[in-house]
Structure 1
Amino acid sequence: MSTDSTPNESPSPESTSTEPGPSILTERTLLGIFVHFIAILPFLGFVTAGIIYAVSEHEFTRANARNALNWQLLVSGSFLAVFVLVFGLGTLFEYVALPGVIETVVFVPVFALAFVSILLGFLNFFVWIVATAKAIFGDAWRYPFAPEFV
């Protein structure tokens, strides 16, 4: 029996040069993973996601920041639209006398938009968990219902 190494033997653990932990960060960055958590708050979220998207050079980070930015623009835009419509129309109807039926017809879509905004606000706390989990596993997940603003 010979002690010489043959080509069919597997290399010893000392001869492998793979780094299990840090090498994964060349494919995905921590900022690309945590951008979803950073961007969770409406109005502040689209600012931070936009800054990360603008300054990042890593494609994984940019893709995740773009997805988070698109979602936060949808959520923040819906809250802003409801705020402007409710207070703007309320103020308008204080100065302009309209029949109650017309006011009701005008405010029904506004209340529907308010309901959708509240649902998006609640959904905001769940989709960031999914997006963060997907980013951990290397996928830049597109948020549901979020149009491509960026």
Structure 2
Amino acid sequence: MPRQNSQPTPADEAATTGPQLLESRSVAGILVHFIAIPTGVVGAGLVYLLARNEFTKRNARNALDWHLTVLGLTVVSFGLLVSYTEGTGQGVADIAAFSPPVSTGIGLLVPLLLAGWGGALVLTVGLGLIAMGKATFGSAWRYPFSPSLVERYGGFVAVDNTWPLSIGAYVVSLPVVFSAVFLGSDEAAVFVVSTAGLLVVLAVLTPLTIAGMYLHGDRDRPQNAAWQPPVVAYIGVPGVVGLLGYAGSRAFTDSLYPFGDGLYVFLTALWVSAIVYLARWWTTATE
């Protein structure tokens, strides 16, 4: 009689692991690497916070570790560049505060950091695509040169119960930024600061506010909670108002940038929605 082989064949293993692989993967876990290439920490961080699937969370954590590393390099590089410019009398203050040896040392270090920063941007694209390819085949690939920041320090930044603070940051920041943008002087420094503030509102605080309303008001809210907010309305109404603002600007004004007008209307409507959300949450929580 022919000897029976009890060991599984490669075909059997492929047939077994194939369906399991499809079940373990998620579209978000694959695409998070591509999403994070242009959006950086914000995109990877939001996917990480919103993820429930373990595969998605692992991939988002790996992407977030890399982009936090790049963000740190960016802050150090440009922070040192600004310090060098100001300290050598080439900036706004026009006062040379650094001694010649310090100026020379920083002057040699800044180009190296900027070169490293430029290389990190190039690597971000390449490594992101590699990680996306690895995730397609079911692997949560760690980016090289990036420490495990989220795993090591994530426990110290618990956001589950602090989403109202994130929403409140948007409520406080938007009037300040709008005042600087629309009422500020034409000086170069004011323009740079107001533009940077507007970018922070658009790229960071607005996504965090929307995510905060969803997580705090819907996904993580107990079913027996005293207040069950209509999160779709809190998030959706500002979007509709923004579209109406865009349409109205195109139809009834000679604005050169109707999209920008609609965006400002959306941000304002979201600001009102955030105030109402916080007020309802606060009054209900204290009842």
- Would the TM-score normalized by the shorter structure come out above 0.5? yes
Structure 2: runs of 5+ lacking an equivalent: 1-15, 90-94, 151-287
The answer for the alignment partner of 1:29 in structure 2 is 26
Q: Deviations over 1:99-129 (max 9, x none)?
A: 5443111222222211111111111111111
Gap runs ≥5 in structure 1: 1-17
AA of the residue aligned to 1:30: V
2:77 corresponds, among 79, 82, 95, to 82
Q: Which residue does the alignment assign to 1:38?
A: 35
Report the identity percentage: 38
- Identify if the C-alpha distance between structure 1 residues 59 and 140 changes in structure 2 by more than 3 Å, giving closer, same or farther: same
Pick aligned residue for 1:58 from 50, 53, 69 = 53
Q: State how 1:105-116 maps to structure 2 within 5 Å.
A: 105-116=105-116
Q: Which residue identity is paired with 2:145?
A: F
Q: Aligned pair 1:125/2:130, yes or no?
A: no
The DSSP-based 3-state class of the residue aligned with 2:66 is: helix
Q: How many residues align?
A: 129
RMSD: 2.0
Taking structure 1 as the reference length, what is the TM-score of the superposition? 0.77
Structure 1, 108-117 or 51-60: larger mean CA deviation: 108-117
Structure 2 length normalisation: TM-score?
A: 0.42
Write 1 or 2 for the structure with the bigger share of helix.
2
- After superposing on structure 2, the runs of 4+ consecutive aligned residues of structure 1 that deviate more than 3 Å are 97-102
Which residue matches 2:242?
A: none
Report if aligned partners of 2:21, 2:138 keep a CA contact under 8 Å in 1: no
In the alignment, residue 140 of structure 1 is paired with which amino acid? A
1:71 to 58, 66, 77: 66
Matched letter for residue 65 of structure 2: N
Deviation, 1:25, is 4.5
Contact 2:77 2:110 in 1 (8 A): yes
Q: Specify the code of the residue in structure 2 equivalent to 1:131.
A: A
- Residues 26-81 of structure 1, C-alpha deviation per residue, up to 9 Å, x if partnerless? 3110000000000002xx31111111111111100000000000111111221222
Segment drifting more, 139-148 vs 85-94 = 85-94
Change beyond 3 A, Cα 1:27–1:86: same
Q: Cα offset for 1:98?
A: 4.4
1:13 aligns to what? none
